[in-house]
Amino acid sequence: MIYTTQKGQVSSGEAIGILLLETSVPFIPGDVANATTYGFPVRYQKVKGFSVRRALGKDPSVYEDLRQAAGDLVQQGVRAVTGDCGFMGIHQKKLARELGVPVFLSSLLQISFISLLIGENAKVGIITADSKSLGADLLAAVGVSDPTSVVIGGLEDSPQFYQFAIEETGSLDAGAVEKEVVTVARNMIAENPQIRALLLECSLLPPYGAAVQDAVKLPVFDYITMINFVFEAVVKRKYSGFT
């Protein structure tokens, strides 16, 4: 077998590249930014100056730094590029057009798929860091043409989540945040019984997905379901057995 490399590539074996916000919070197992979350190696690349507030504000001026960081990941051999903030999805179409490898920046890209799973009269419930910032513009950027197909619940009024995720206090009470996320999920279902699946938009929320599912008894999608799905597409495994 003959192996090749790209100029400037210094390591191999990381099929998924992950663009990171420039933020400082505890990244616990299950978080997109915790490498132990995955059953395969991943490669991280911070986007210089891309803060949480710039992400929530959908700041277009961050694109060139985002593009540079994504290009660095590709140079190091990744086969697909994702991110650690669903609001990166505002740049999805442009980066996918320019990068040359599959791009799946936002967990929100799963909405169209989930909608087909649950039927046209049902709704997808989205739990996000800030419901006030997740509008029709971001949904359109990730391929959702009908905003009425989703119900959005936010954690902006959940103090434990807000302190660690937005204010970046450097401390996380995982048990307290889990209770807040479960409360939002339960309230959404109670107020919107047409919800038939939940999507945890924020990359900080997958650690709480199991608790949410235990509470509401519905399918729960998040960044990790999407990353695992794409990994299986870009790194196919061989099958062996008997007939």
Torsional class of 63: left (φ above 0), alpha (ψ -120 to 50), beta (otherwise): alpha
Considering the domain architecture, whether residues 113 and 102 belong to the same structural domain is answered as no
What pTM was estimated for this model as a whole? 0.94
Residue 195's SS3 state is: strand
Considering the domain architecture, whether residues 113 and 92 belong to the same structural domain is answered as no
Residue 3 lies in a domain: no
Q: How many CB atoms lie within 10 A of CB 209?
A: 21
**57 against 113, higher pLDDT:** 113
Give the pLDDT of residue 57. Answer: 87
- Which of these ranges, 95-104, 130-139, 190-199, 221-230, has the smallest mean pLDDT? 130-139
Considering the domain architecture, whether residues 80 and 53 belong to the same structural domain is answered as yes
Count of domains observed in the chain: 2
Considering the domain architecture, whether residues 99 and 204 belong to the same structural domain is answered as no
Q: How confident is the model at residue 8 (pLDDT cuts 50, 70, 90)?
A: confident
The answer to whether 124 touches 150, Cβ cutoff 8 Å, is: yes
